[in-house]
Amino acid sequence: MSVVHQNQESVVLRTLEQYKNWLQTLNYSATTIKNNPRFIEEFITWAKLTDLNQINPTNLQAWFDHLSTRKHKRREGSISLNYIKGYRNALSQFGKYLKETGMVSFDVNVALKAQVISQRQILTKAEIQQLYEATNNYPDPMIKDKGLLAARERAILGLFYGCGLRKNEGMHVETKDLDFRKDLLYVRKGKNYKERYVPIAEGVKKDFIHYLDYARPQLIRQQKHESFLTGWYGSPLKGSAILGRVQILGEIAQINKPVGLHTLRHSIATHLLQSGMKLEQIARFLGHSSLESTQIYTHLFAEM
């Protein structure tokens, strides 16, 4: 790399640091201060830019076309439309900052591809039933009492399909969060630290009680913790292990679609919409901060 290129790249990095300091000075949220410079640096690295004057409508549109097909790193499917909008907002704000400071001027007028919202996998109600039936058919010969794992796997399905939880939310549910008198589940680890209560349907309630009374006391063994979901050796069940159990159920049920925790969440949302529940109620159920996030299910419903 030439000395000129090194100097140009150092100017870009210094500008990003100055932009971050500007965000802090204007008292933007910690999330914005953390994410915006990172989003911009990702674009600059992807586009192989060495000078901010190289930002133009062509490489900006190419970047957002790339984002529309980029795979999600932690779950099945592509990154969400809302996440892509976060990149757009970051670049747009960065453009305004550069213009105000007299460095560079560019506008982010890009078209976001709508098909990104149609890539979510949805299971039919019949396929959900197949998953529940699969809990009784584990092929592992080492497990003598298959009823223990069947009870736990039904509890997993209850959390992520019946209650529509995200992975992090379900992983952090504790036994004290279940109020069977009011048929409510307290979600303590919601997105952006937002707490909420989720209704527990009668069938899900029966599965939860059976798991707590019969399976969990045997699975937890001598360990002491309040985590609702417990592994075979008594430790709290982590997100990757929970996902693995659901994927095994999908294989046993011979469902020819990717089956994951978000698949269950998307499926219950779509099924609730099919049943006539209002979009505002579904938004509260899922813990969405805006109806825009929930409206994707109207598209999925139309496609189905």
Q: Tens digits of per-residue pLDDT, 8-19?
A: 567 788 899 999
The number of C-alpha atoms within 13 Å of 46 and in the hemisphere containing its C-beta is 17
Q: Is 191 a catalytic residue?
A: yes
The confidence band for 83, taking pLDDT boundaries of 50, 70 and 90, is confident
E strands, the chain, in order: 178-179, 184-187, 196-199
d(CA 200, CA 251): 27
| Cα–Cα distance for residue pair 15/121, rounded to 1 Å | 41
* 0.85 surpassed by pTM: no
Sequence-distant (6+) residues with CB within 8 A of 271 are 125, 128
152 is catalytic: no
Q: Which of 20, 120, 152, 166 is catalytic?
A: 166
What confidence tier does 213 reach under pLDDT thresholds 50, 70, 90? Answer: very high
Q: Is 265 a catalytic residue?
A: yes
Q: Identify the active-site residue in 172, 216, 245, 262.
A: 262
CA 157 to CA 152: how far, in whole Å? 9
Q: Express as a percent the part of the chain with pLDDT over 70.
A: 85
Considering the candidates 20, 167, 216, 265, report the single residue annotated as catalytic: 265
**124: amino acid identity, one letter:** T
pLDDT in tens, 238-270: 989 999 999 999 999 999 988 999 999 999 999
77 torsion bin: left (phi>0), alpha (psi -120 to 50), beta (else): left
Handedness of CA 165, 168, 170, 174 (dihedral sign): negative
Determine which one of 75, 191, 210, 284 is catalytic: 191
Q: Which residue has the higher pLDDT, 184 or 274?
A: 184
Interval 126-138: pLDDT, tens: 999 999 999 988 7
Identify the structural domains of the chain with CATH numbers, from first to last. 3-118 (1.10.150.130), 125-303 (1.10.443.10)
Is 262 one of the annotated active-site residues of the chain?
yes
| 153-210 residue pLDDT tens | 999 999 999 999 999 999 999 999 999 999 999 998 777 678 899 999 999 999 999 9
Residue type, 192: N
Average pLDDT on 272-301 reads 79
List b or e across 142-165, with b for residues whose CB sees 16 or more CB atoms inside 10 angstroms: eeeeeebbbbbbbbbbbbbbbbbb
Catalytic annotation on 70? Answer: no
Span between the terminal Cα atoms of the chain, in Å = 53
Query: What is the reported pLDDT for 142?
Result: 62
Q: Confirm if 208 and 155 have CB atoms less than 8 A apart.
A: yes
Residue 197: beta bridge partners? 186
Higher model confidence: residue 72 or residue 100? 100
